Amino acid sequence: MPVLMNFFLAQAQQPSTSVIEKLARTPLHEIVWFAAICTVLRIAAVALMPRVSESHTTGRVLLRILHDASDALIYAAIVVFLLLRPYVLQTFQIPSESMVPTLKVNDWLIVNKFAYRIGDPKFGDIVVFKPPKRALAPWQPPDQDFVKRLIGEPGDLIEIRNSVLYRNGKEVPEPYLNEKAIGDFKLVKYHGELIPIVRFGTGGVPQDSLYVDKVPPREMGTVWDLPSERIPDGYYLMMGDNRNWSADGRVWGLVPRRQIVGRAWFILFPLSRMGSPH
């Protein structure tokens, strides 16, 4: 298991959380409270305005500023946090090197949430999603988002043989990879459960990824010889472009459709990398 553990622990680097990232993740109940406080301030400004004499210019100006500022903040909270963020667009900061060179650490993405409300994710999409619980490192919050490339759709038979990706038996060119991925991969059914199984290097020992308690070591060779299974309805397989340094679906398995947040739509920052990711 040492190769697999090194593969997974390579991801265990806690990213710094910027002020913008914290703001983007502000819980909904805090946004509602913020809008309520701004509403109270706006009402107070309207109520006090007639009581301030025309000659008290400074007081009237301050009340007008308070009124206009609270008004703008209320609309911003409603439009951005209660409409756009949940249903249309959201920002996302890249926390790790798992998608290099397509996406780099600290790139800022605009994530299109609406795209998957009117259609399903497709092979090759760069997807932001909520990972399975077993994929989270101890320091990561339960609502952590991941970003990977969608490699398998429902019904697909996905295998990596001799470090080459095959989809439904056909070799898939992967020009987006940082370097040639090392190892083999497939999904197999073991005791009625679909599990990912990987093998690093030619003739390497098969390992059952994060399902280490599922397959006894003495059975690994037998399990590897089981036939590859197709991805079931309602599930997707994600992998990183920097595949040798990406803990992804090969390690922790499939992602349910309901946990897919949206499609990576546009690199917003840095300006030198602004544009659509591919």
Catalytic site positions: 98, 148
The SS3 of residue 92 is strand
CA 59 to chain centre: 48
Give the contacts of 115 (CB within 8 A, at least 6 positions apart): 262, 263, 265
Residue recorded with tokens 């914290």: 22
Asked whether 99 and 241 are in contact (CB, 8 A), the reply is yes
Concatenating the DSSP letter of every residue in 102-151 gives TS-TT-EEEEESTHHHHS---TT-EEEEPPPGGG--TTS-TT--EEEEEE
Task: Give the largest CA-CA distance in the chain.
Answer: 90
Which residues sit opposite 110 in a β-bridge? 91, 266
Which ranges constitute the DSSP H helices of the chain?
A: 2-9, 19-24, 28-48, 57-76, 85-87, 115-118, 220-224, 249-252
Q: How far is Cα 247 from Cα 115, in angstroms, rounded to an integer?
A: 26
